[in-house]
Amino acid sequence: MNTLNTLDTALAQARQNYIDKRPESLATFENATRYMPGGNTRTVLFHEPFPFRAARGEGAELIDVDGHRYLNLLGEYTAGLFGHTHPVIRAAVERALDDGVNLGAHNRYEPQLAELVCARFPSMQRVRFTNSGTEANLMAISSARVHTGREKILVFDGGYHGGLLYFAHGGIAINAPFPYLLGEYNATETTRALIRDNADRLACVLVEPLMGAAGCIPADKEFLGMLREETARAGAVLIFDEVMTSRLAYGGAQQLLEVTPDMTTLGKYVGGGMSFGAFGGLQRIMDLYDPRKPDALPHAGTFNNNTLTMAAGCAALRDIYTQDAAEALNARGDRLRKQLNAIARTRGLPVQFTGRGSMMNLHTLSGEVRHPADLDAANDALKELLFLDFLDAGYYLARRGFIALSLVVDDARLQGFAECYSELLDKRGALIAAV
């Protein structure tokens, strides 16, 4: 009880300190609640006691309306790969603006971006663009159902594939109403049996090669290999949701893990950090949308090919996120994660970072993390305390502990973050150990 009281006291003090330093953010939040439920239109950004309000971004830094500066380690949940003010992205958008927006016609950028995407991700023999990763996954699922003539979709507990495809603790009330089968991530043999038991009704398997929202939990290569083998055997479509993980190697996590799906979905940074999504795969599946065919499926979307995103995406893939850049960024992330884990391990504290490459997540527990259920024992109050401590020190990561490194966060800044982490563990070490 004393330990809980101590944690409650430390958290209350950290919250009050946060409130005292952000009067403008508080005033803006209170006004926002008059027009939006909870002053919010994007749930993941909300945190207690209220979210700070960003005023602008410069390179790798955010500045809030109260004047506080933060090193942005959140990286817009992987969309912000290029930082806030990358000159190449800005120049591409400005050129597109000069030619006029909302053209309502095919434009010169979209085939260029399609060629770049298909060349980078060989699983995508043909591609179509959307406005978000959510749309991309909905389209991929629906395409697989039409292609196979089957209805069931295998997803995994804890998986996140967009606002209407979220399977935390089995699923949410507003999920798209497909007939789902729910599997356990990284559970190779039970999932194999589930696929075989439903083979004649299974349209597709939708999986993240690394679970992002669930806590940066990497898939076992054996697990993904089994999915590839069993979906091929069943005649079902294997869909990799690489909206987040496509940044983990030049050709995505599928290249890194050497498992090629039938379809892939993309988003976030591939559109240069603009609103963007894409779904693609085998030509025989994607040709369902060829408008030259009399029985083609329609796929509408006013901004599917909007000029700003198409131009930004071309610059992003062609000129910035090259193979060398991808390898360097993800090696930097691997080094940081190992360094952070060593800091906690030398102190004997139950804190760790999971992940792969430039994506990682803080967890307040020890032991191996292979399934979302492994995180049930984590102490969420302690995680909030560390989150507020990081903000106070000038480092912004997600409330849930998520980090997605951007290209503009250099080694010197990451060393500063590691030193800050070391200091926080020294400050909170007795409390962490007791909890």
Rounded distance between C-alpha atoms, residue 8 and residue 364, angstroms: 16
Closest CA to 11 of 364, 372, 367: 364
- The answer to whether 166 and 175 have CB atoms below 8 angstroms apart is yes
Structure tokens at 34: 């008059």
Rounded distance between C-alpha atoms, residue 271 and residue 308, angstroms: 9
H-helix or E-strand spanning residue 389: helix 380-393
Q: For residue 181, list its beta bridge partners.
A: 154
Rounded distance between C-alpha atoms, residue 164 and residue 167, angstroms: 9
Structure tokens at 242: 């690489």
Q: What is the CA angle 400-269-73, rounded to 5?
A: 35
Structure tokens at 214: 């669930």
Structure tokens at 383: 């995680």
E-assigned strands of 31-167?
54-58, 61-64, 69-72, 126-130, 152-156
What residues are labeled active site? 160, 241, 268
Edge to edge, the sheet with strand 61-64 lists: 54-58, 61-64, 69-72, 395-396
Rounded distance between C-alpha atoms, residue 382 and residue 425, angstroms: 12
Q: Is there a cis peptide before residue 49, judged by omega within 30 degrees of 0?
A: yes
**Residue in the structure block whose two tokens are 């039970």:** 190
Closest CA to 141 of 154, 129, 125: 154
- The answer to whether 277 and 133 have CB atoms below 8 angstroms apart is yes
Q: Reduced to 3 states, what is the DSSP secondary structure of residue 213?
A: coil
